[in-house]
Amino acid sequence: MPVVAIVGAGVIGVSWARLFAEAGWTVRVSDPRPDLAEIVTRELAGLPATAVADLAEAAAGADFVQESGPERIELKRQMFATLAAATSDDTVLASSSSSLLPSVIAEGNAAASRIVVGHPFNPPELMPLVEVVPGAATSAETVARAVEVYRGLGKKPITLKKEIPGFVGNRLQKVFNDQAMYLVQQGVVSASDLDELVKASLGPRWATIGPFESMHLGGGPDGMRHLVSHVGSQMTFEIGKPDREHLDAVLEEVEKDYGTAETYPDRVAARDRRTRAVVDALAAAEQE
Ligand SMILES: NC(=O)c1ccc[n+]([C@@H]2O[C@H](COP(=O)([O-])OP(=O)(O)OC[C@H]3O[C@@H](n4cnc5c(N)ncnc54)[C@H](O)[C@@H]3O)[C@@H](O)[C@H]2O)c1
């Protein structure tokens, strides 16, 4: 069985570990936290996964590394220096980083050609996307191997042509979430109504056809060409930005609507149940 080293046993690392293990990989999970063994026993029960606290030991002989440690550049660089020394020349070293550029993570690293970002959406077990982001020094073989591994896990890897801060998914999300906060802050709509609005419109639309195909359909038979010159030409308003220094009222509203830590497990379970239902339904629709 191929061996993967999962670096970091937090929210993302544990989910990757379960995904790899369920797909038939032997999993080694590394993290300096004192409760590592408990986490592996509890979260990965019955799966071929072991806790290996020492990073070099976990990575030695691994076929693939998925790093999901803290989002701090100095820590990532340290981890990747250890990973580079502990692995062989054909081992891909992928980082789950949400925002750090692979070129920056790989700076000064002798294995820069093997370093790539493989950015999942949370939770990696359920969300199909993995953004594969090569840095300036990442080799074509590394990208191809990462894509192959993620496909083998049942994921949908999308390879960016070049790196950019926030990659694609989080840049889109940032624009959207900023506007959502702005609209609530301005008293245009409540936070829960905005959520309902998105679930009843853009959510299903974007889960089925992306923004470009949607624009192309929205313009009728003449497509996006018509849309941009017709409806699109009137969308000239300024969209504004949220006042991030004064988000208290928005945060209180969200906490009042959805609860805080005590409701977290139930909210995660509900999200996962619904996500699975959508992903499964779309997969079934593709078969029709
Ligand atoms: N949370 C998300 O929604 C999300 C989504 C996509 C990608 N990511 C990325 O995944 C990575 C992990 O995020 P997370 O939310 O799981 O964080 P987290 O805080 O839940 O987990 C990080 C883990 O790394 C461990 N750690 C600390 N130092 C370490 C070291 N030297 N070696 C190994 N492990 C170490 C910590 O003990 C902790 O268990 C980050 O790079 C983040 O940007 C997060």
User: Do 64 and 118 share a domain, yes or no?
Assistant: yes
The two three-digit tokens of residue 40, written as one number? 């592996």
Rg (CA), the chain: 21
Ligand 1 in reach of 249 Cβ (< 6 A): no
User: Do 155 and 174 share a domain, yes or no?
Assistant: no
The two three-digit tokens of residue 61, written as one number? 């002989």
Q: Is residue 244 in a domain?
A: yes
Amino acid in the structure at residue 252? E
Residue indicated by tokens 């990989």: 25
Is the pLDDT score of 231 beyond 90? no
Ligand 1 in reach of 259 Cβ (< 6 A): no
Q: Give 120-138 pLDDT, tens digit per residue.
A: 999 999 999 999 999 999 9
Rounded to an integer, the average pLDDT of 6-33 is 98
Q: Burial letters for 11-32: b for 16+ Cβ neighbours within 10 Å, e otherwise?
A: ebbbbbbbbbbeeebbbbbbbe
The two three-digit tokens of residue 285, written as one number? 């629709």
Which pLDDT score is estimated for 143?
A: 98
User: Do 237 and 134 share a domain, yes or no?
Assistant: no
Please tell me the total count of domains within the chain. 2
Q: Is residue 165 in a domain?
A: no
Ligand 1 in reach of 5 Cβ (< 6 A): no
- The two beta strands, 129-134 and 3-7, are unpaired
Q: Which of 137, 159, 181 is the last residue of a domain?
A: 159
User: Do 83 and 183 share a domain, yes or no?
Assistant: no
Question: Which of the listed residues 6, 7, 12, 96 should we mutate to test ligand 1's pocket, taking the one with most ligand atoms within 8 A of CB?
Answer: 12
User: Do 90 and 10 share a domain, yes or no?
Assistant: yes
Q: Which element (helix H / strand E) includes 30? A: strand 26-30
Q: Is residue 239 in a domain?
A: yes
User: Do 198 and 246 share a domain, yes or no?
Assistant: yes
User: Do 220 and 268 share a domain, yes or no?
Assistant: yes
* Residue numbers of the domain that contains 71: 3-159
User: Do 141 and 94 share a domain, yes or no?
Assistant: yes
User: Do 152 and 181 share a domain, yes or no?
Assistant: no
Ligand 1 in reach of 15 Cβ (< 6 A): no
Ligand 1 in reach of 68 Cβ (< 6 A): yes
Rounded to an integer, the average pLDDT of 260-284 is 96
Ligand 1 in reach of 58 Cβ (< 6 A): no
Here the CATH number for the domain that contains residue 52 is: 3.40.50.720
Whether the pTM exceeds 0.85: the reply is yes
Q: Is residue 194 in a domain?
A: yes
Euclidean distance between CA atoms 57 and 254, whole angstroms: 43
Q: Which of 159, 179, 208 is the last residue of a domain?
A: 159
Q: Is residue 64 in a domain?
A: yes
Work out the pLDDT band at 230, boundaries 50, 70, 90: confident
Is the pLDDT score of 186 beyond 90? yes
Is the pLDDT score of 101 beyond 90? yes
Q: Give 130-170 pLDDT, tens digit per residue.
A: 999 999 999 999 999 999 999 999 999 999 999 999 999 99
Here the CATH number for the domain that contains residue 277 is: 1.10.1040.10
The answer to whether 44 and 18 have CB atoms below 8 angstroms apart is yes
CA of 97 to the centre of ligand 1 (A): 8
Q: Which of 127, 159, 191 is the last residue of a domain?
A: 159
CA of 12 to the centre of ligand 1 (A): 6
User: Do 205 and 277 share a domain, yes or no?
Assistant: yes
Residue indicated by tokens 């030409």: 233
Q: Is residue 52 in a domain?
A: yes
Q: Is residue 182 in a domain?
A: yes
Ligand 1 in reach of 118 Cβ (< 6 A): no
| DSSP assignments along 37-89, one per residue | HHHHHHHTTTSSEEE--SHHHHHTT-SEEEE---S-HHHHHHHHHHHHHHS-T
Would you give the DSSP letter of residue 234? Answer: G
Q: What percentage of the chain has pLDDT greater than the value 90? A: 97
User: Do 20 and 148 share a domain, yes or no?
Assistant: yes
User: Do 204 and 95 share a domain, yes or no?
Assistant: no
Is the pLDDT score of 209 beyond 90? yes
Q: Is residue 60 in a domain?
A: yes
